[in-house]
């Protein structure tokens, strides 16, 4: 009962904080025409704005205080992780200084998030002033530096609040707060996407047969995602027998599980974060050259998809290298008396694990690229809502599986703690 009560509190905190986030998505910034914004984004559905709006949970289409979503924080996290590779002092802070070093890195990430939000907020504020609805109604009621400063401060406060909500969900709730915020933004947009699809069918722009094919395709992609996310490469491990006193220890056989998709949903989120906002800023700009460059970054364009796939491969290898160190694995196995059959302990074991991990990462990168890009090409060609794309399905399935595994781990750990307390009580 205690375990269920504790889990209930964590789930309650998670739901409450996500509800707070969803409320903020519907609070518009001051100085904008809500009707003009709605008609403008309705005319821009199926473009890059629709994809960015999906990741912001609908905040961009409302031009709300949460319009930038969690993307500035993700961009700041990417920069800090890249700096860990480029800067020895930051790498030492992350690995050698323990909890204090990680707190410093978290603080630096927050400062960088604020800086990125200030720059992005200024870009959107200037872009909004030059935009009009399809009926030529201005979106900004009173352009000028007063509007720009208010917009920048509002966006910055909203992004910082989302960042705080994500950290609170991770600390007091269940699951990764940032992933759950993106997850909730995609989930609440699915009913709207279904309504849009029904409207397309009624208007004759989409046949019922094609809609059924889309549903079957989504089902196949979902099954493939679940299968690959649960797939593992199990490296056999043997432990040598050791005699300590009169007792014999070791001698058992086990395995080292390595996931096929080690990086999870991080690569497509990071890749989308890097591609979406520069292209969105380009579309907000009234400069012809900037708009021409932005046209190359439409989801249907060849340039966008090539860069997107390249970024997915980069972040798959980069993130895997951060979270898994073959050298540490080999050293830990050697210290524990474990070894891989037919592989010498130490450096040879490290090379073997590194080779296996590189092959798995390549397979995972190919899998993520196929899941993310192929449905996106179909969506761009047939004007299907972005919520039915591979990236959104990958995030939904991946975050759901991670959420359920964390709940299961929490229940197992609390039950184990309760059994230990009972055993100690009986011993007394």
**What's domain 203-428's architecture?**
Orthogonal Bundle (1.10)
- Return the DSSP state at 387: G
Closest CA to 104 of 91, 117, 114, 93: 93
Whole-angstrom Cα distance, residue 217 to residue 221? 6
For position 426, what pLDDT does the model report?
A: 55
For position 161, what pLDDT does the model report?
A: 92
CATH 1.10.3370.10 in the chain, residue ranges: 1-187, 203-428
Whole-angstrom Cα distance, residue 319 to residue 77? 12
Which of the following CATH numbers is that of domain 1-187: 3.40.50.360, 1.10.10.10, 1.10.3370.10, 2.40.160.40?
Answer: 1.10.3370.10
Write down the number of H helices and E strands in the chain.
Answer: 16, 5
For position 362, what pLDDT does the model report?
A: 92
Q: Is 114 exposed, middle or buried (0-12, 13-18, 19+ CB in 10 A)?
A: middle
For position 217, what pLDDT does the model report?
A: 80
**What are the structure tokens assigned to 123, written together?**
């870009």
CA distance to 41, 123, 337, 393, per residue, from 117 (Å): 22, 10, 50, 27
- Looking at the chain, the whole-number percentage of residues with pLDDT higher than 90 is 6
For position 268, what pLDDT does the model report?
A: 83
CA distance to 14, 17, 158, 324, 400, per residue, from 20 (Å): 10, 5, 12, 35, 20
For position 417, what pLDDT does the model report?
A: 56
For position 119, what pLDDT does the model report?
A: 85
Residue ranges, the chain, pLDDT below 70: 1-4, 42-52, 94, 96-98, 241-251, 277-287, 290-291, 294-300, 375-390, 414-428
For position 389, what pLDDT does the model report?
A: 63
pTM across the whole model: 0.78
């Amino acid at each position: 009962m205690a375990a269920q009560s504790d889990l209930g509190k964590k789930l309650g905190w998670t739901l409450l904080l996500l509800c707070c986030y969803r409320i903020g998505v519907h609070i518009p910034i001051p100085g904008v025409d809500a009707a003009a914004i709605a008609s403008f984004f309705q005319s821009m559905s199926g473009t890059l704005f629709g994809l960015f709006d999906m990741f912001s949970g609908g905040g961009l289409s409302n031009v709300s205080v949460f319009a930038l979503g969690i993307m500035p924080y993700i961009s700041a996290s990417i920069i800090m992780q890249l700096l860990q590779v480029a800067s020895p002092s930051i790498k030492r802070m992350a690995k050698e200084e323990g909890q204090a070093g990680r707190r410093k890195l978290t603080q630096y990430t927050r400062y960088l998030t604020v800086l990125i939000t200030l720059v992005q907020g200024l870009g959107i504020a200037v872009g909004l002033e030059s935009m009009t609805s399809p009926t030529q109604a201005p979106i900004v009621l009173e352009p000028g530096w007063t509007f720009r400063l208010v917009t920048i401060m509002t966006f910055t406060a909203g992004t910082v609040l989302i960042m705080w909500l994500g950290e609170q969900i991770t600390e007091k709730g269940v699951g990764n707060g940032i992933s759950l915020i993106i997850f909730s933004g995609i989930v609440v947009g699915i009913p709207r996407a279904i309504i849009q699809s029904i409207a397309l069918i009624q208007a004759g722009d989409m046949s019922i047969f094609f809609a059924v094919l889309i549903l079957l395709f989504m089902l196949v992609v979902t099954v493939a995602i679940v299968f690959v996310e649960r797939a593992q490469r199990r490296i056999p491990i043997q432990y040598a027998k050791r005699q300590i006193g009169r007792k014999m220890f070791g001698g058992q056989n086990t395995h080292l599980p390595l996931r096929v998709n080690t990086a999870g949903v991080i690569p497509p989120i990071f890749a989308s974060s890097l591609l979406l906002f520069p292209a969105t800023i380009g579309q907000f700009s009234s400069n012809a050259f900037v708009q021409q460059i932005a046209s190359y970054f439409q989801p249907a364009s060849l340039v966008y998809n090539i860069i997107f796939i390249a970024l997915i491969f980069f972040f798959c290898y980069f993130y895997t290298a951060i979270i898994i160190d073959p050298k540490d694995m080999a050293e830990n196995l050697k210290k524990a008396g474990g070894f891989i059959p037919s592989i010498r302990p130490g450096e040879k074991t490290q090379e073997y694990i590194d080779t296996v991990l590189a092959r798995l990462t390549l397979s995972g990168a190919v899998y993520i690229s196929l899941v993310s890009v192929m449905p996106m090409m179909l969506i761009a060609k047939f004007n299907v809502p972005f919520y039915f794309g591979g990236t959104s399905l990958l995030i939904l399935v991946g975050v759901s599986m991670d959420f359920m595994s964390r709940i299961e781990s929490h229940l197992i750990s609390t039950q184990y703690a309760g059994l230990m307390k009972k055993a100690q009580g009986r011993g007394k």
